[in-house]
Amino acid sequence: MSNLTGKKIILGVTGSISAYKSALLTRLLVKSGAEVQVLMTRAARDFITPLTLATLSKRPVLSEFTSSSGAGEGQWNNHVELALWADLIVVAPVSAHSLARFAHGFCDDLLAAVYLSARCPIFLAPAMDLDMYHHPATLENLRRLETFGNRIIQAEHGELASGLVGEGRLAEPEHILVELERHFAQRPVFRHKQILITAGPTQEPIDPVRFISNHSSGKMGYAIARAFAHAGADVTLISGPTVQPLPDPTIRRISVRSAREMFDATAAEFSKAHIIVLAAAVADYTPAEPAQQKIKKKEAVFALQMTKTIDIAATLGKQKRPDQITVGFALETNDELSNAVSKLRAKNFDFIVLNSLRDPGAGFGHDTNKITVIDKDEQVYEFDLKSKDKVAEDLLNLVQEQLAMV
């Protein structure tokens, strides 16, 4: 279920060439389960038709204080009731002109009246040409609006309608959706908390061409990073090689390849973190002496001498402070619970997340997972098979409960 499900969203659309993107944003909001009421300025109707947005939102689009046609002719569109109805207002695009109106309290149309009457959070996504966006008047208006408590979704860099290239493009609808999802997912307890997460596999070099690795896709670690970022935490993600996209633009990703690189990066960040989630599938062994040249195929039998890698969890577990919470992972194929409990104790975890490869739909590569979590008091929490995003939420809830006791 999306964090937007059941939320009442007012989408304001103002006069900008990028108003065409408001159609996709409306569609994304509706697909996420939100109720969407579109308000358009008069100028916006020159760029996209109200019919398009009414069809996508499944509600009549409002522009004027009174309806002038149809069965509701002469009906008052009560700006106060609209403002009180909304859980959130997002204006996308907001033009330079509308920014100025909002910043200085002008109230000459329905959208401006709703803006001034709102008690809910307001997000503004500006769109305009490069020089307009960087003009001192616009920058001052943006600063002023932020002091009012408005959230600014910064314009993005790219080719503009004028042909110039630079900042001023309306943020992509998918990026705006992430901002709104994050807003409704935020939990005050995670605000300003530093979260360190490892994810993905490691690759241990045999020679310049070949390496030893495992089947980890990084999906679980990336889902956990997304959950903490949406909850309002400051997330650092140390990732082995994976094709997973950055799950949230606020996440700081550090890319590594080998177990040694993952240890060095994790150790450098460990002392700053309040919560550490070690979800990466780190190699236990690495070739003792990787060849400097490609190994040619000659012998029928090829022997490779291996040496143990640094145990990241055990090493950092000895450095763990009482105010830190650590979460480890155990992927087992037999004696699952006893092996997980042994690892919990040996590595000084607060929680260990147990996966069994004997559970269908769990483990590497799947979009789902089935976990059992054991805490430091050896209390066991069992969860059903569910999406990895939902699994990440379950872990977030357990960590939140523990955080209250630290």
Neighbours of 60 (CB within 10 A): 14
Question: Where would I find the beta strands (DSSP E) of 346-385?
Answer: 351-356, 368-369, 372-375, 380-382
Q: Is 214 a catalytic residue?
A: yes
- Helix or strand or coil: residue 162? coil
Which is catalytic among the residues 3, 78, 214, 348?
214
Please state the length of the chain.
406
Say which amino acid occupies 269.
E
For residue 272, say whether it is annotated as part of any ligand binding site. no
Q: Which of 277, 284, 242, 405 is nearest to 353 (CA)?
A: 277
Write the DSSP assignment of 67-136 as a string of letters: --SSTTTT-B--HHHHHHH-SEEEEEEE-HHHHHHHHHT---SHHHHHHHH--S-EEEEE---HHHHTSH
For residue 264, say whether it is annotated as part of any ligand binding site. no
For residue 284, say whether it is annotated as part of any ligand binding site. yes
| Sequence-distant (≥ 6) Cβ neighbours of residue 276 within 8 angstroms | 195, 196, 197, 270, 316, 324, 325, 326, 327
For residue 347, say whether it is annotated as part of any ligand binding site. yes
Return the active site residues: 214
Annotated binding site for CTP: 284, 294, 329, 343, 347
Annotated binding site: 284, 294, 329, 343, 347
